[in-house]
């Protein structure tokens, strides 16, 4: 359409067209060129060599733009034309080094421009294109070969090597197919030989099973049955489910129960069943699949044996079903369940064990130790018995009893392991436990026991008293009461004061009373209340305003969407009408192009702009001097603490 | 072309003129050759290439990885793409693995001018090796005082076999292959010598260009240098032919006395020149009006005269020198990114402005001149350029290398240009084959690759 129009125009206007088209095509943030524009460009340059030369110049100049997205789209167009036009190839190949510099960015002083993500895509695409060009036209253009060799040999770029890869994959697949075919054929041959013996084997198994079943069945008939009273009892059980259950149970009852006398038969049956399921059925299945897949010249044997195998399989399945009905069945599932249970037992027991262990620990921690007692006096390092033992002792020794009553309760900790031990400790430089790690140990560097005792002394034992923090209970705007728990002041509703069920402060009266007593404080309070009220009002206003803003924003967005829709519709209309809109076109295109260009430029520019992510914001926040100082202090503190923890014996 | 052949047939064109025209035509259409490809075995930048002077068949290349290779540029070793691309593999390569090979970069590799049985390489490992081509063994070895930048042998010499070597050292040494010793040590440069060139008109005259920016002329039969080129001594354009010039001189003389003094000196000097064997020295001295008085002293030891001795031809190092075939002019390239054309006889800068963009500054480059000295090929950064010698206009630009071009070599016999660069490639630039020739070849060889043509799917 457009291009047809341009054909009439000739040289001067044509130039404008192809340049404009390219500009339009490259001015987009999408990862591919608009196919409509691309087609237009192609048909324009196809018609005249002049256009083609102009196009190549324009494309090269666009490649120099300082924006990877533009370069990327330009490169896509170049590739399209390169694969098609000989003239274009000869023109582009002249400046191939420049093109490669701009698209691959292999020169250190000319890296690819800004949006990094697009730049990397551009590079990989360019490399791919270069390889493609080289394989298709390399023989005719020394420059392509040169560029390829240069990048490959000197810059060691990894080319995707598409063609070779595809060939290799094809080759591999072919080889694999050949191998499988061969294997199948081999199997087929062996089957030919062993077919009869296989059949015999299966047949014998089936016979044995049927024999066993026969024995059981005969016994079955001996046993008196109870189907007689089945009917009248049916009357009582109206409920179908119940009836089903009953039927099942009856049928279960029908079955021959395994007993000492027929145990042998059952065992044999079970064995045979297992053989049937795990061996014969599987092998038959396998053979069937082999026969289906195998490709031989002589189909006769294959068809016959396939048929036979299918028969055998059906028979086997029948027998299997019978076996299952007869009661020796479901060995597998039962087994599984057994195993499951057993495993569960294990885990449980281990859990129990661990629980026990932790209990041990608890009881270990339980012993009460006097804070300042010398460590040699008691040894409670080894668990329960000793405690009980001590307990026994305690009764006999009232002094000790008293001491115990007065002693504070220590929390359980690792220091208890060495409680009261009198040995010296090796000061490991890394602060690691010696048992658990390999490392350099200096046996001369020891910390004497009394030092350790000193270090283990805990001078304060503060325990916070449990206390319930009151609810704020201020009435909320949306109804209900504020559920925040703060110690003194709720950040939203001021100081926590006793309130009634509706959230009204109860102590108002008391404060009124207080006013007569303490005027000064009252004034302060009043002022505070006033300010609070003011603040709340302002908050309310702001909330309202925010809502307004939000609405306005939504409206704007809708307007934008509408505008966009209109533009799209306009586009579509232009596309469908050919000549009629040509006149009005010019004017409007320029307008539209301007506007669209502005919009798009913004997007192109915005690609360049660094997006402010949460990470950045955080970084900025963190890099503030104020907060930095704070963090540094905090970090050093933390480090201190870590160090203290890591090197407890070096403090 | 057919018209010219017709003219030649009818005798309108003289044979030399005819061949010159054909050559010229082919020369102007030089482009990166697709059908001839030299497979470079080098793993470093190529510093020096030369086609042998006797047959024009063997190309010698020296590279930074201390390797030297020889190629047959007439006969391809194998073909690719249905005989479309002829590949010329190296006949032999000498690299570090060789027993007597160089240790560091080979900066210069030249053929023995008389035949292809010997070649000479100079390297950064301070050695100059003379190799036997057939056995690829070292036959002679010269230890130099510093890195060797450039070596040269005179193509005219009948009475000496001297290798002139420009090294890091300030002295230029002449190594005698006949005796295996240093025959001369020429001192005068104040810095290393990057380029060395024998005169193409006299076998005794050597030209050297140093890092100090001086171009010195030496007569190896006498002590000291007899001429230092000075960029500030200039004449406009090339000298006119003898007869016409004397006429113009007369005119000039009659027109202005003041300016005529200089030319009259020239005119007086003319008869002497033809008589004296030491042409250049005489004329160079007599050209210079400021030194006419002190010519007696200068003749004794001209290199010592400070005013002339300190003259520079370029601001910065002289990185390339090349004399024209007729021995009348000298082209020099400097690290100041200038190319200058010097009139050897007068020792003047001809003020031809070569439109070179930039030259690389750190390395010596190798220039090439066509036989009729119409074009000079200069490596300009990543491209090589062909300039018109007399006007300095850029006639052709050869873009193909991906890194700096170091050396050019023009084969007058085939009208082909060879360039070597830092990207380890030796590129062949040749006139395009006519399509009919290509088609004929395909037919003869029986297989054609997919032709290169338009492929519009839509």
Please give the Cα distance from B273 to B267 (Å, whole number). Answer: 10
Q: Are residues B313 and B444 in the same domain?
A: no
Percent of the residues in chain A that have a pLDDT greater than 70, as a whole number: 67
CB contact under 8 A, A154 and B456: no
Q: What is the mean pLDDT of residues B264-276?
A: 40
Of the residues B383, B402, B420, the best mutation for testing chain A's interface (the one with the most A CB atoms within 10 Å of its CB) is B402
Tens of pLDDT, residues B68-123: 999 999 988 888 877 788 899 999 999 888 888 899 999 999 999 998 999 999 99
Q: Which residues pair with B216 in a beta bridge?
A: B208, B228
User: Which among B37, B423, B455 is the nearest to A83, CB-wise?
Assistant: B455
Of the residues A44, A45, A92, A154, the best mutation for testing chain B's interface (the one with the most B CB atoms within 10 Å of its CB) is A154
Per-residue pLDDT at A230: 47
State the average pLDDT for chain A: 72
CA-based nearest residue to A71, from A18, A110, A109, A43: A110
Q: How many CA atoms lie within 13 A of B422 on its CB side?
A: 15
A155 and chain B: CB distance < 8 Å anywhere? no
Please give the Cα distance from B454 to A572 (Å, whole number). Answer: 32
pLDDT band for position A225 (cuts 50, 70, 90): very low
CB contact under 8 A, B457 and A84: yes
pLDDT band for position A163 (cuts 50, 70, 90): confident
pLDDT band for position A94 (cuts 50, 70, 90): confident
For residue B82, give how far its alpha carbon lies from the nearest alpha carbon of chain A (Å).
9
Helix H or strand E encompassing B227:
strand B225-228
Per-residue pLDDT at A75: 92
How long a stretch of residues is chain B? 458
CB contact under 8 A, B382 and A140: no
CATH of the domain at B337: 2.130.10.10
Identify whether B206 is part of a domain: yes
User: Which among B399, B402, B425 is the nearest to A94, CB-wise?
Assistant: B399
Residues of A in contact with B457 (CB under 8 A): 84
Residue whose tokens read 């054929």: A185
Per-residue pLDDT at A327: 65
Backbone φ/ψ region at B332: left (φ over 0), alpha (ψ -120 to 50), beta: beta
Percent of the residues in chain B that have a pLDDT greater than 70, as a whole number: 80
For residue B43, give how far its alpha carbon lies from the nearest alpha carbon of chain A (Å).
9
3-state secondary structure of A467: coil
Which range, of A94-108, A352-366, B404-418, averages the lowest pLDDT? A352-366
A141 and chain B: CB distance < 8 Å anywhere? yes
Per-residue pLDDT at A259: 66
User: Which among A84, A140, A142 is the nearest to B454, CB-wise?
Assistant: A84
Please give the Cα distance from B351 to A333 (Å, whole number). Answer: 104
Q: What is the mean pLDDT of residues B332-353?
A: 89
State the average pLDDT for chain B: 82
Identify whether B18 is part of a domain: yes
Tens of pLDDT, residues A624-636: 766 667 667 777 7
CB contact under 8 A, B33 and A142: yes
Q: Are residues B443 and B320 in the same domain?
A: no
Cα-trace Rg, chain B = 24
Nearest CA in chain B to A94: B399
B164 has a pLDDT exceeding 80: yes
Residue A223 phi, psi (nearest 5): -70, 130
Helix H or strand E encompassing B19:
helix B15-28
B453 and chain A: CB distance < 8 Å anywhere? yes
Nearest CA in chain A to B79: A139
Identify whether B390 is part of a domain: no
A49 and chain B: CB distance < 8 Å anywhere? no
Backbone φ/ψ region at A161: left (φ over 0), alpha (ψ -120 to 50), beta: left
Q: What is the mean pLDDT of residues A70-97?
A: 90
Please give the Cα distance from B95 to B123 (Å, whole number). Answer: 12
Q: Are residues B179 and B325 in the same domain?
A: yes
Per-residue pLDDT at B208: 94
pLDDT band for position B138 (cuts 50, 70, 90): very high
User: Which among A94, A97, A139 is the nearest to B449, CB-wise?
Assistant: A139
CA A102 to each of CA A33, A74, A378, A528: distance values in angstroms, whole numbers, following the listed order: 19, 11, 82, 68
CB contact under 8 A, A146 and B33: no
Interface of A with B in 359-418 (CB under 8 A): none
- Report which of residues A8 and A206 the model is more confident about: A206
Range of the domain at B217: 144-238+276-286+300-351
Identify whether B404 is part of a domain: no
Tens of pLDDT, residues B110-119: 999 998 999 9
Q: What is the mean pLDDT of residues B12-22?
A: 87
Q: Are residues B447 and B343 in the same domain?
A: no
Identify whether B402 is part of a domain: no
Dihedral of the alpha carbons of A341, A344, A348, A349, in degrees to the nearest 10: 70
Tens of pLDDT, residues A582-591: 444 444 445 5
Q: Are residues B215 and B315 in the same domain?
A: yes
Q: At a CB cut-off of 8 Å and minimum separation 6, what does B321 contact?
A: B195, B196, B197, B207, B208, B209, B215, B330, B331, B332, B333, B367
Complex-level ipTM beyond the 0.85 threshold = no
B194 and chain A: CB distance < 8 Å anywhere? no
CA-based nearest residue to A511, from A522, A520, A501: A522
What ranges make up the beta strands (E) of A317-433?
425-426
pLDDT band for position A437 (cuts 50, 70, 90): low
Q: Which residues pair with A489 in a beta bridge?
A: A495
CB contact under 8 A, A142 and B425: no
Q: Are residues B17 and B165 in the same domain?
A: no
Residues of A in contact with B42 (CB under 8 A): none
Tens of pLDDT, residues A337-383: 333 334 443 444 444 444 444 444 444 444 444 444 444 444 444 44
CB contact under 8 A, A146 and B427: yes
Identify whether B179 is part of a domain: yes
* Domain end (from B351, B366, B392): B351
Per-residue pLDDT at B441: 64
B270 has a pLDDT exceeding 60: no
For residue A137, give how far its alpha carbon lies from the nearest alpha carbon of chain B (Å).
7
Identify whether B306 is part of a domain: yes
How far is it between the farthest Cα atoms of chain A?
122
A444 has a pLDDT exceeding 60: yes
B197 has a pLDDT exceeding 90: yes
Q: Are residues B213 and B326 in the same domain?
A: yes
B382 and chain A: CB distance < 8 Å anywhere? yes
Q: Are residues B321 and B446 in the same domain?
A: no
Which range, of A540-549, B47-56, B444-453, averages the lowest pLDDT? B444-453
Q: Are residues B198 and B308 in the same domain?
A: yes
Q: By the 8 A CB rule, do B66 and B96 touch?
A: yes
Identify whether B91 is part of a domain: no
- Count Cβ–Cβ pairs < 8 Å, chain A vs chain B: 56
Dihedral sign, Cα of residue A65, residue A68, residue A74, residue A78: positive
Q: Are residues B205 and B323 in the same domain?
A: yes
B301 has a pLDDT exceeding 60: no
Per-residue pLDDT at A341: 39
Percent of the residues in chain B that have a pLDDT greater than 90, as a whole number: 43
A290 has a pLDDT exceeding 70: yes
Structural domain count of chain B: 2
Q: Are residues B310 and B443 in the same domain?
A: no
> Could you tell me where the DSSP H helices lie in A64-141?
68-82, 86-94, 96-104, 116-137
Please give the Cα distance from A566 to A211 (Å, whole number). Answer: 85
CB contact under 8 A, B427 and A143: no
CB contact under 8 A, A42 and B423: no
Q: Which residues pair with B219 in a beta bridge?
A: B205
Q: Are residues B341 and B200 in the same domain?
A: yes
Q: What is the mean pLDDT of residues A563-575?
A: 74
Per-residue pLDDT at A364: 42
Tens of pLDDT, residues A235-266: 554 667 777 777 777 766 666 666 667 777 77
């Amino acid at each position: 359409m457009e291009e047809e129009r341009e054909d009439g125009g000739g040289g001067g206007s044509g130039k404008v067209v192809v340049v404009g088209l390219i500009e339009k095509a490259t001015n987009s943030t999408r990862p591919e060129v608009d196919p409509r524009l691309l087609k237009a460009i192609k048909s324009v340059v196809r018609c005249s060599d002049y256009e083609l030369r102009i196009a190549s110049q324009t494309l090269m100049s666009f490649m120099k733009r300082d924006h990877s997205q533009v370069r990327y789209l330009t490169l896509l167009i170049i590739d399209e034309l390169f694969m098609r036009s000989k003239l274009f190839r000869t023109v582009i190949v002249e400046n191939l080094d420049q093109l490669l510099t701009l698209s691959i960015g292999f020169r250190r002083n000319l890296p690819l421009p800004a949006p990094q993500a697009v730049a990397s895509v551009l590079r990989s695409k360019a490399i791919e294109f270069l390889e493609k060009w080289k394989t298709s036209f390399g023989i005719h253009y020394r420059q392509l070969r040169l560029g390829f060799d240069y990048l490959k040999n000197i810059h060691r770029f990894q080319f995707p090597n598409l063609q070779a890869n595809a060939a290799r994959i094809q080759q591999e697949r072919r080889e694999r197919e050949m191998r499988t075919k061969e294997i199948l054929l081999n199997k087929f041959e062996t089957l030919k030989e062993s077919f009869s013996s296989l059949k015999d084997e299966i047949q014998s198994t089936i016979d044995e099973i049927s024999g066993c079943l026969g024995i059981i069945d005969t016994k079955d008939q001996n046993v008196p049955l109870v189907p007689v009273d089945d009917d009248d009892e049916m009357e009582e059980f109206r409920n179908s489910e119940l009836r089903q259950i009953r039927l099942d149970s009856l049928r279960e009852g029908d079955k021959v129960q395994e007993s000492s006398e027929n145990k042998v038969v059952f065992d044999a049956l079970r064995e045979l069943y297992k053989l049937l399921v795990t061996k014969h059925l599987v092998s038959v299945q396998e053979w069937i699949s082999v026969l289906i897949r195998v490709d031989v010249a002589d189909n006769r044997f294959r068809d016959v044996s396939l048929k036979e195998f299918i028969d055998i399989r059906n028979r086997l399945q029948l027998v299997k079903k019978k076996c299952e009905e007869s009661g020796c069945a479901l060995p597998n599932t039962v087994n599984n369940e057994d195993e499951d249970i057993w495993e569960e037992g294990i885990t449980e027991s281990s859990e129990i064990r661990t629980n026990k262990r932790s209990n041990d620990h608890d009881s270990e921690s339980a012993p009460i130790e006097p804070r300042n007692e010398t460590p040699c006096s008691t040894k409670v390092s080894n668990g329960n018995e000793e405690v009980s033992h001590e307990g026994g002792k305690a009764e006999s020794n009232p002094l000790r009893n008293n001491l115990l009553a007065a002693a504070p309760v220590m929390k359980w900790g690792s220091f208890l392991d060495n409680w009261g031990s009198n040995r010296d400790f090796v000061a490991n430089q890394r602060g690691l436990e010696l048992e658990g790690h390999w490392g350099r140990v200096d046996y001369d560097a020891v910390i004497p026991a009394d030092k350790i005792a000193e270090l283990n002394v805990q001078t304060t034992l503060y325990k916070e008293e449990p206390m319930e923090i009151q609810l704020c209970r201020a009435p909320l705007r949306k109804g209900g009461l504020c559920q925040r728990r703060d110690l003194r002041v709720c950040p939203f509703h001021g100081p926590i004061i006793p309130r009634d069920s509706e959230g009204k402060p109860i102590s108002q009266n008391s404060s009124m009373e207080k006013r007569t007593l303490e005027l000064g404080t009252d004034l302060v309070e009043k002022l505070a209340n006033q300010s609070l009220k003011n603040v709340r009002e302002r908050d309310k206003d702001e909330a309202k305003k925010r809502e307004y803003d939000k609405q306005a924003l939504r409206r704007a967005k809708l307007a934008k969407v509408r505008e966009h829709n209109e533009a799209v519709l306009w586009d579509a209309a232009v596309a469908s009408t050919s000549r009629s809109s040509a006149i009005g076109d010019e004017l409007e295109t320029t307008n539209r192009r301007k506007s669209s260009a502005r919009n798009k430029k913004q997007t192109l520019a915005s690609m360049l702009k660094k997006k402010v992510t949460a990470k950045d914001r955080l970084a900025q926040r963190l890099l503030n001097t104020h907060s930095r100082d704070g963090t540094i202090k905090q970090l050093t503190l933390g480090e201190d603490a870590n160090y203290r923890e890591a090197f407890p014996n070096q403090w | 072309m057919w018209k010219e052949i017709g003219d030649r047939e009818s005798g309108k064109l003289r044979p030399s003129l005819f061949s010159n025209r054909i050559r010229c035509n082919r020369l102007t259409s030089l482009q990166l050759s697709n059908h001839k490809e030299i497979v470079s075995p080098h793993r470093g930048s190529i510093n020096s290439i030369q086609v042998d002077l006797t047959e024009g068949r063997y190309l010698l290349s020296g590279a930074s990885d201390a390797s030297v290779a020889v190629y047959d540029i007439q006969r391809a070793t194998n073909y690719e793409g249905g005989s479309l691309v002829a590949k010329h593999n190296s006949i032999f390569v000498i690299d570090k693995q060789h027993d007597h090979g160089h240790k560091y970069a080979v900066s210069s590799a030249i053929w023995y001018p008389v035949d292809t049985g010997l070649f000479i390489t100079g390297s950064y490992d301070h050695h100059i090796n003379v190799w036997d081509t057939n056995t690829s063994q070292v036959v002679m070895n010269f230890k130099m005082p510093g890195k060797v930048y450039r070596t040269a042998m005179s193509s005219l010499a009948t009475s000496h076999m001297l290798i002139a070597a420009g090294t890091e050292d300030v002295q230029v040494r002449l190594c005698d292959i006949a005796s295996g010793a240093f025959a001369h040590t020429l001192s005068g440069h104040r810095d290393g010598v990057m380029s060395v060139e024998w005169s193409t008109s006299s076998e005794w005259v050597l030209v050297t260009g140093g890092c100090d920016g001086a171009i010195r002329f030496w007569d190896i039969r006498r002590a000291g240098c007899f001429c230092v080129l000075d960029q500030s001594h200039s004449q406009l354009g090339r000298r006119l032919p003898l007869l016409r010039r004397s006429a113009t001189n007369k005119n000039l003389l009659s027109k202005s006395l003041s300016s005529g003094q200089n030319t009259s000196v020239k005119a007086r000097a003319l008869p002497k020149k033809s008589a004296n064997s030491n042409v250049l020295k005489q004329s160079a001295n007599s050209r210079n009006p400021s030194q006419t008085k002190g010519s007696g002293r200068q003749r004794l030891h001209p290199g010592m005269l400070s005013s002339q001795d300190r003259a520079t031809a370029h601001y910065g190092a002289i990185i390339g020198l090349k004399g024209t075939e007729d021995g009348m002019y000298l082209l020099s390239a400097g690290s100041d990114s200038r190319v200058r054309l010097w009139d050897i006889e007068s020792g003047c800068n001809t003020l031809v402005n070569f439109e070179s963009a930039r030259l690389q500054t750190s390395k010596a480059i190798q220039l090439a001149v066509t036989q009729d000295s119409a074009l000079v090929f200069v490596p300009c950064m990543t491209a090589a350029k062909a300039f018109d010698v007399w006007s300095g206009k850029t006639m052709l630009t050869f873009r193909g290398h991906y890194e700096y071009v170091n050396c050019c070599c023009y084969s007058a016999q085939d009208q082909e240009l060879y360039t070597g660069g830092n990207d380890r490639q030796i590129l062949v630039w040749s006139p395009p084959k006519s399509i009919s020739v290509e088609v004929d070849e395909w037919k003869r060889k029986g297989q054609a690759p997919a032709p290169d043509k338009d492929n519009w799917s839509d």
